[in-house]
Homo-oligomer: A and B are copies of this chain.
Amino acid sequence: MSGPAPPAAPAGFSLNQQTVRQWSLPELAAGCAAAGVRRVGLWREPVREYGATAAARLVRDAGLTVTSLCRGGFLTAPDPAGRAAALADNRAAVEEAAVLGTDTLVLVSGGLPPGSRDLAGARERIADALAELGPFAAGHGVRLAIEPLHPMYAADRCVVSTLGQALDLAERFPARQVGVVVDTYHLWWDDTVAAQLVRAGESGRIAAFQLADWVTPLPEGVLLGRGQLGDGCVDLRWFRERVASAGYTGAAEVEIFNPALWAREGADVLAEVLDRYRHHVL
């Protein structure tokens, strides 16, 4: 018995699984199919727990394509052992991305090592790592996508804080090896972002486009306070139009870290996300 076909989600829409963290991978696959969603962004931890090959089969059987895998990175360790471990972990992430059939591995580049005040040095170590990882990734059909994170994460999570910085790093390497992520939550405040989006388009660097809104007050630790689309102050439509003008034709991936969303029924959250997407992004 088959029910009515679900309404198709808007073309280009992708659901990052962190938005509905309460869902297991099978629930995600079923929930997306039921809602007419055809694209998902996945995270390594749940994929590895389920098994990458099994996860790839699961999402493929549900008619889903994987728009990105989050995340590699954390490439700022100064000691040889830390560096070697990070490179090995990123190679594993590339392989997992290839198994899942996505061409995009999102990188959260890493913060300052404990006790360090050397931002420039940390950024240079990221470049060194990209030089090693870029050819390996491209050989697997995967592009490393540097995600600039909001400057409030510069100390402990990612010393790449602006789209300009991300492009400065990416452009040292071939475009098929290294691109950038445009995430509205991280970039909305920056008055140079319009020019940097043009630059990113011209050099063919936009590997992923992610969406969340900015709401205040920020919670302790500032990790889990992202807003549902339309609840905050980000001009989401402006971003969509600008990445499109820059030549980006990939998915718009909604990635919202918000415990209030995780406390609800996943299907309700997804329906709300789709509604908000139609009203605030399209």
- Which A residues lie at the B interface, using CB under 8 A? 112, 116-120, 123, 150-152, 154-156, 159, 161-162, 165, 188-191, 214, 216-222, 232-235
Nearest to A216 among chain B residues (CB) is B156
Select which of B152, B219, B235 is within 8 A of A152 by beta carbon. Answer: B152
**Cα A162 to Cα B233 with chains together (Å):** 19
Docked complex Cα distance between A190 and B152 (Å): 11
Once the chains are docked, how many angstroms separate the CA of A188 from the CA of B119? 9
Number of copies: 2
**A251–B112 CA distance with the chains assembled, in angstroms:** 29
Contacts of A189 in B (CB 8 A): 119, 151, 154-155, 159, 161
> When the two chains form their complex, are residues A117 and B233 in contact, meaning their CB atoms are under 8 A apart?
yes
Chain B residues whose CB sits within 8 angstroms of the CB of A123 once the complex forms: 191
Cross-chain contact A190 with B156 (CB below 8 angstroms)? no
18 A-B pairs besides A119-B189, A151-B151, A154-B189 with CB distance below 8 A are A112-B233, A117-B233, A119-B188, A150-B151, A152-B218, A152-B222, A154-B188, A155-B189, A155-B214, A155-B216, A155-B232, A155-B233, A156-B216, A161-B191, A165-B191, A217-B220, A217-B221, A218-B218
B-side contacts of A120, CB under 8 Å:
191
Residue A222 contacts which of B214, B222, B232 (CB distance < 8 angstroms)?
B222
4 residue pairs, one from A and one from B, having the closest CB atoms: A154-B189, A152-B152, A117-B235, A220-B220
Q: A218–B220 contact, CB under 8 A?
A: yes
Q: Within the assembled complex, what's the spacing in Å between the Cα atoms of A152 and B217? A: 10
A221 with B221: CB separation less than 8 A: no
**Residues of chain B contacted by A112 (CB below 8 angstroms):** 233
Task: Give the docked Cα–Cα distance between A220 and B218 (Å).
Answer: 6
Residue contact B222 to A218, C-beta cutoff 8 Å? yes
Q: How far is the CB of A182 from chain B (nearest CB, A)?
A: 16
Chain B residues contacting A190 (CB-CB under 8 Å) are 151, 161
A199 to chain B minimum Cβ distance, whole angstroms, is 15
